[in-house]
Every structure is written in structure tokens, then in C-alpha cells.
Amino acid sequence: MSAIDRSSTVTGTVAVVGTGTMGQGIAQVALVAGHPVRLYDAAPGRAAEAAASIAARLDRLVEKGRLTAADRDAARARLHPARALAELADAELVIEAVVEDLAVKQKLFTELEEFVGDACLLATNTSSLSVTAVAGALRTPGRFIGLHFFNPAPLLPLVEVVRGSATDEAAAARAYATAAAWGKTPVRCADTPGFIVNRVARPFYAEAFRVYEERAADPATIDAALRESGGFKMGPFELTDLIGQDVNEAVTRSVWESFFHDPKFTPSLAQRRLVESGLHGRKSGRGWYGHGAGAAPPAPHTAESCRAPREVTIEGSLGPADVLRELIEEAGIKVVRDGDPADRKGRIELPGGALLRLSDGGAASDDESGTYIHFDLSLDYRAATRIVLAPADSAAPEDVDEAIGLFQALGKQVSVIDDVPGMIVVRTVAMIVDFALDAVARGVAGPEDVDTAMRLGVNYPGGPLEWAGRLGATWLECVLDALHYAYPTGRYGASPALRRRAAAERKVL
């Protein structure tokens, strides 16, 4: 990463237009960083109310020992509500956080141009609109930039610095340096639908909703799989209830429409029905789960205790799940090695004859070479507390019990779902990695910025490019090819970037 030229940072007045939750959060960030801050809202009295709310937050920071009383008093003295846009004339940076409406934003900035100086940096906090389009109505679009903060802005470190088609390099560098000077972690991003985070994160929600729509598993079990096996902090159902189903669905729909209805970004009908029903999540009292007084999310389906086998046979390599051999031996279960250790289609043979295999993107029932039970991916099998199984239709109850007992002996809870291609974590991670590689190849952002954005913006347990290195492009390509065979709509077609990486990987091998 190139060095930050802090001499180019904004040092004077920062103006924030729009005083909702996000606007207040951005204003607080600038204020604590030492800037004079002017607040403006088109609704009379809202700016003064927002200033009072920010002052109260500063009081709480003092109570928590995160701000001295002297610094609080100085910050309050720098905070000024404005009654008219003309009062923002001395601003060096104006950030808007108004309604996500292109016409509204364009009108605001064309009016601002009448008052602010030529050197003033203009920024939008939009999460779904084109930065280029917002700037299109300006006389001087070169000074216009996207500064996408994440909510709550005072707490979350990530800021996507989005360069529109007409943005000058100097303006982008100044915005980046300013966000860094505020203690944030900025990432550079081209103006593309969803930027980095909202583009690359779409499969995290979409694949879970697709598994639910196919009735392979219920929301609580899918959430548990992605938390306890995948290592994600929250599952997609609970997370969208927190975000707001209306907000999350609107972003998904916006990205899909911006990509001209590309099937890779197709929204979920089940989520759309929630939104149409007014079930928006926590803020409405119900979404995928109930959130009323005393309500608790349903527990995931968890298998009852089963007897562990005394011995298993491992044939070939288990690929990303190779560590399971060590875990099985550490649990006191005898492991017999068979076949070529380099065979990438490895499997675990149970005493009853059933075969366990890491999901390869297809359904367990499609493999006619034996009775298969697929298990899902974990990004850290040692740390995982849950394993998900998907038995083939031919698997007998005693076969499933043996598989359950094996993983329970490793200290894992086990959930059994219907036989769906790619299961839950496999298809989700494969799609996220493919989206990330495609974004890098298309110049949306560099690999380091993509990984940083996904770790900090949505709290992923690692970066997608890091996962690509650990899992292997060849394995990921095979997963997506199998999914594409099962669902020949184009949704799972591997990107050219992933195919090139897989080809290069095979040459090395």
C-alpha cells in the first residue's frame, strides 16, 4: 500500500448535510478529529436537534473515559447547526448523507456549488447509487468523491473511498488521506455497483436464502452452519434482521438492476415477500425471526448423540478438510490409509460402507459409485463447533448415525440437512471468492483492499483472496462447475479470473 500524504488532508471546516443516524455519526467522527463541523438538514430544526444528540454522545464518551471533559467542551464549541446551505460556504469538505435518491442528491450538490469555494471537496455517503451519476450534474465533477462509511460510523473503521469516472486523482488522494487522519481504515474503490463490500457480500445472503427456498434447511440451522462451521460472526438471516430486510433487499435489488439483471445477483423471492409483508426485522418486531418481548430465535436442528465408529478408512486427500485425519486420530479412532494420498477426490469410508466426502458442489445423491454423505466446509475444522451433513437419498439411517457419531467424537455438534448441491458453507464461500476475484480482475479494487474491506466492513473471518489461496482455485472452480451443472442458469458460472488462477495453479502442480 502506498504511503499516505497527510499534508493533503482536509484541515478546516467539515460540513455534513443530512442529520439522520449516519449523518450524525460522520459529524461526530469529524468533530472528534478536531474539525469545526457544520450540520445542515432541509427539515427545519433538525440540525439543532442533531447537534444536541451529538453533544449527548460526547457526554457518554466522557463517562466511559474515552474522551476528556476538556476535549468534549472544545468539540461542542466547534459544532454549529446551519439554517441554510449558504452557511456552509467556508467548508473544505462537504459530506452528504441524505435519502438515497439520485435526483435529490444531484439537486443538493448543484445548489452547494453556488456557495462553496472551488477547492472544497464534495463527497457522498451513498451505498447504492453511482458516484459518477451523482457528480454528472456538477460543473466541476473532478472534486466529487464517494466516502462510504459503515454504520455506526464512530465505531466501524472501514471507509470505502470511491472514485467516480470524472474524479480527479488529487481529490481521491485527499479524501483517502483525510479518512486515514480521522483514524479510519480507508480502501480505494472504483465506482461500480455495490462498491467492494456490497458487491462481494451478495452471495453471503443470496446462497443462504436459496438453500432455504429449496427447503434444504431452516433459517436457524443455516445461520448456525455459517457461524459455527464457517466462522462468520452472524448468520445471514439474523444479520439481515438486524440490518433491516427492506434495507438489505433494496441494496441487493439495486446491485442486480445496475448489473442489468445478471443472474449472479438475482434477489431472493422469499426475502421480497418478507419486505412486502412489513416484516423488516428487529425494527418491526419480526423478520425471519421474532423480536418481540421475550422472543428468542429458534434453535438449529442438532442431531442426538450417536455412537462413534472405532475405525475409519481414509482414501486419498480430503483437500481443504485434510486436517480431519489428525482430529479423528486425536479422538482415539483408528485411521487406515488407503489409495493414492494425492487423489483429490478423497473420502472417509465408514464401517458400514457409507462414504463421507467434503461437498464438491454437487449433490450426494448424484454420485452412483457408492452411498455418499457429504459434509460441509469449515474454514477452521479445529475451531468449528458444528458440522453439517447432507446424506444421499440412498443413505440408510444407520449410515447417517455412523457419520453423526464420527463428528460428535471430534467434539462437534452435528446438523443434518437435505441433499442440496454445494450445501451451505461450500457454495457461499466459493461464490464470495469468485466475486472477489472478479472484482479485482475488473479493477474495482486491489486484492489487499478487497480483503481489508470484507474483514472490516462485514466482519468476515478472513479475506476472500486469502481463502482463495488456502482452498485452492482448482477446488473452487470444481465446486462452481458442479453447481453450474446442477443449476444451469449462469448464476454459478466461474469467472474468467478464477479460471485463469486455476489454470496457473494446475501448471505449478
What whole-number distance in Å separates Cα of residue 483 and Cα of residue 421?
6
Give me the percent of the chain exceeding a pLDDT of 70. Answer: 98
Annotated catalytic, 248? no
Q: Which of 160, 238, 349, 477 is catalytic?
A: 160
pLDDT confidence band for 5 (50 / 70 / 90): low
Look at residues 241, 357, 330, 337 and name the one whose alpha carbon lies nearest to residue 292: 241
In angstroms, rounded to a whole number, what is the distance separating the alpha carbons of residues 192 and 258? 9
Alpha helices in 21-114 (DSSP H): 21-32, 46-63, 69-78, 102-112
Which residue is catalytic, options 96, 125, 127, 268?
127
| Residue ranges in 414-489 assigned as alpha helix (H) | 425-441, 447-457, 464-471, 473-486
User: How far, in Å, CA of 124 to CA of 132, rounded?
Assistant: 11
In this prediction, residue 126 carries a pLDDT of 95
> How many CA atoms within 13 Å lie on the side-chain side of 291?
18
Asked if residue 420 lies in contact with residue 390, where contact means CB atoms within 8 angstroms, the answer is yes
| Structure confidence at residue 158 (pLDDT) | 98
Q: Write the pLDDT tens digit of every residue in 181-231.
A: 999 999 999 999 999 999 999 999 999 999 999 999 999 999 999 999 999
Query: pLDDT tens across 366-388, in order?
Result: 998 899 999 999 999 999 999 99
Residue with cell 476472500: 464
**Model pLDDT for residues 63-99, shown as the tens digit of each residue:** 999 999 999 999 999 999 999 999 999 999 999 999 9
Which among 92, 125, 128, 148 is annotated as catalytic? 148
Catalytic residue (choose from 125, 128, 198, 254): 198
**Average pLDDT estimate for 326-351:** 89
340-349 confidence digits (pLDDT tens): 777 778 999 9
For the cut 60, the answer to whether the pLDDT of residue 1 exceeds it is no
pLDDT for 469 beyond 60: yes
Can 160 be counted among the known catalytic residues?
Answer: yes
Mean pLDDT of 391-402: 97
Look at residue 2 in the predicted model and tell me its pLDDT: 44
Please, which pLDDT band fits residue 509 given cuts at 50, 70 and 90? low
Q: Is the pLDDT of residue 391 over 90?
A: yes
| 477 counts as catalytic | no
Four-residue CA torsion sign, 131, 136, 138, 142: positive
* Predicted local distance difference test score (pLDDT) of residue 345: 81
